[in-house]
Each structure stands twice: as structure tokens, then as C-alpha cells.
Amino acid sequence: MTKDILVFAEQRDGHLQPTALQCLAAAAALAKKSGGKIVAALIGQNPAAVAAPLEQAGASAILIADDARFAKYNPLTYTRALTALIEKADPQVVLLPATVMGRDLAPRVAVRLHAGLATDCIEIDLDDKGALLVRRPIYNGKAFNKVHFAADRRQIASIRPNAFLAPAPDASKKAERIAVTVPHDAADDRQTTKEIVRTGGEEKDVTEASIVVSGGRSLKSADNFKIIYDLAHAMGGAVGASRAACDAGYQPHSRQVGLTGKTVTPNLYVACGISGAIQHLAGMRGSRRIVAINTDAEAPMLKLADIGVIADLFQFIPLLTQEVKILRG
């Protein structure tokens, strides 16, 4: 194996996902210690169209698997393609984003390559022998697990979205682009992806968004959630909700944040009218910055928040939305 670090650069429908650049930031820290280079792996139909940001973020080489078979995510064809790209690059470490796609793909590739795997990592390092060291949350963030890989085998880790900040782009950087042909295997025809439908329409997934604006039962109705959507859209973020709001039918459970919902780690989490039950805190306490808006000064969420606003959300949020729109032009 080489000392290189390979990053699976996830793209969907011709759009490079932010997690791809975040994984490159993690790879840069490892490559600095290993002395290897950063290799990006792109899979899709005409994926080279989104290769430029990978170059500007520090990838030295980009392996590209371009085929109509990869137009939509299919676990069988993507596993075969990523395995082929990894075997081509022969890297020491492989990084994937811990997104819906990455969580499905990582264990499949690890089994095929007989590699070690750690998932949902928030810290990553190499020891003096080149073995991967990672830290990952368990029990919904109540504890942390440290994983030490063996140095004599390939090491695969998935990185939690927003655990690393994407590097600043450098337009002067260029990467070698290498086309890799992935042979067709009839076994992959057992499954065909006809259509991929997002739950919640075109709204961003809370698990991958860098900004999440969540509402609680205090919104009182589904119609009142419009002010949450307005603020989230003004900020370029996703809409979340507490379990109580989802159980009341104000929002679909696909947007529920918490122990029985989704775990989120955005750069900014805005909690609107959410008191902060322990189940909800378990799903968002990993956020980098937390803003809580509530009329109850004793709400647990306000004790966790970096910024607390004691105000009526129906009066405050429209004013905040207006100011955000002014700031963002």
C-alpha cells in the first residue's frame, strides 16, 4: 500500500456535496503526517464536471469512474466502482462521508477489501506507525469511543458531516485527472435504481446541513412553521423539529431531531420554542454553535446554548429573518 489518502467525493445529480470538501480537510491532516498525497474518487455520469472544487481543495489526483450505470446511486454498482478506484490508487487510508450514501457504501467496500472500518468519526489522526486513530461518539454523544486500527491493513473511516471545516479554495491548484474503466458485472443487474425520492421534498436533510433551524410544540400548528422555514431558507439551512412537534403533526418525522429522530452536528443550530428535553439534546448537543429562542428563562436548552434569547418567537423570528435577508443581500 502507498501512504496516500483516498477520499470518496460524493456527488448527487451533478452537484458535489459539501461533505466531500470536509473529508478532504481531514485527509490533508493525515497526508501531512504520512507523507502521502490526497486522491479523490468520483463516481457518476459525467462526474468530471464537479472535479474543479476538489482540485482547489487540495486533491493531487482525481480518479474518475464515468458511466451511465452510475447516474443514480446503486449500492451494487457503486461498491464495485469504488472498490476498483481504491485498488487502482492502493491507498493506506480511505475516507467517506457519514451521509446516507456513505453509511451504506462504507461497510460494503470494507468487506470486499477485507479492511478495517470505523464509522461516524469526529476526530482522526495517525500514530507513528501509520495506523489510523479515530474518535467517534456512541450512545447519542453521551460517551466517546477511540478506535486504533492495525497498521498492516487498509483502513476505512467515515467522517461525520460538519466535523471538519472545508478548506479555502485555491484556484492555482491543479490535479491529475485519471479515467478508470469499471468492468460491467452481470451480478450487479440484480438491483436497479429507478428513482431516488427525497422525503420532505426539496428541503435539505438536517443530518448534512451546516445550519439547522428547529421548531418545537410552541409553534402550535403546521401553518405556524412557515416562520421557521422562512428563517431557515434565509440562512441557507435546513428545517428541523422536536419530537413533540412531529408527534403533533406539525412536521414529518423525517425532520425530527433527537434520540428517536436524527442526530445533527451543524455549525449553527437555532432552537425555536424548544424547551430542551434530554431526548432532543442528545440529538443536537454536538452542534458547534447553539442559539435558543424561548420565553422560559429556565428552559434546559437555554443553559446549553451559546446565545439565549428570551422572547416571543412569533415576534422575534420574523424580525431575525428580515435582518438575515438584509445581511445576505
pLDDT tens column, 63-85: 999 999 999 999 999 999 999 99
What is the rounded distance in angstroms from the CA atom of residue 40 to the CA atom of residue 22? Answer: 12
Average pLDDT over residues 99-128: 95
Examine the fold and report which residue of 155, 190, 225 is the final residue of a domain before the chain moves on. 190
Task: Provide the residue count of the chain.
Answer: 329
Domain harbouring 309, CATH code: 3.40.50.1220
Instruction: Retrieve residue 77's grid coordinates.
Output: 454498482
Rounding to the nearest 10 degrees, give the CA dihedral for residues 169, 172, 173, 174. 130
Helix (H, G, I), strand (E, B) or coil at 298: coil
Spatial CB neighbours of 60, under 8 Å, sequence gap ≥ 6: 37, 38, 39, 175, 176
Domain-located, residue 204: no
Residue 135 near residue 159 (C-beta atoms within 8 A): no
- The model carries a pTM of 0.85
Confidence of residue 200 (pLDDT cuts 50, 70, 90): low
On the question of pLDDT at 286 being above 90, the answer is no
Contact indicator for 39, 5 with CB cutoff of 8 Å: yes
143 lies in a domain? yes
Q: Domain range for residue 297? A: 211-327
Nearest to 204 by CA among 75, 44, 12, 73: 12
Average model confidence (pLDDT) for the chain?
A: 94
Instruction: Count structural domains, the chain.
Output: 2
The dihedral built from the CA positions of residue 149, 155, 156 and 161, taken in this order, carries a sign that is: positive
Asked whether 274 and 252 are in contact (CB, 8 A), the reply is no
In a shared domain, residues 92 and 63: yes
pLDDT recorded at residue 51: 96
**Over 90: is that where the pLDDT of 98 sits?**
yes
| Residue 195 pLDDT | 82
In this structure, the strands spanning 132-138 and 123-126 are antiparallel
> Terminus-to-terminus CA distance in the chain, angstroms?
50
Among 157, 190, 223, the domain boundary falls at: 190
Half-sphere exposure of 198 toward its Cβ, with a 13 Å CA cutoff?
A: 10
Contact 250, 306 (CB under 8 A): no
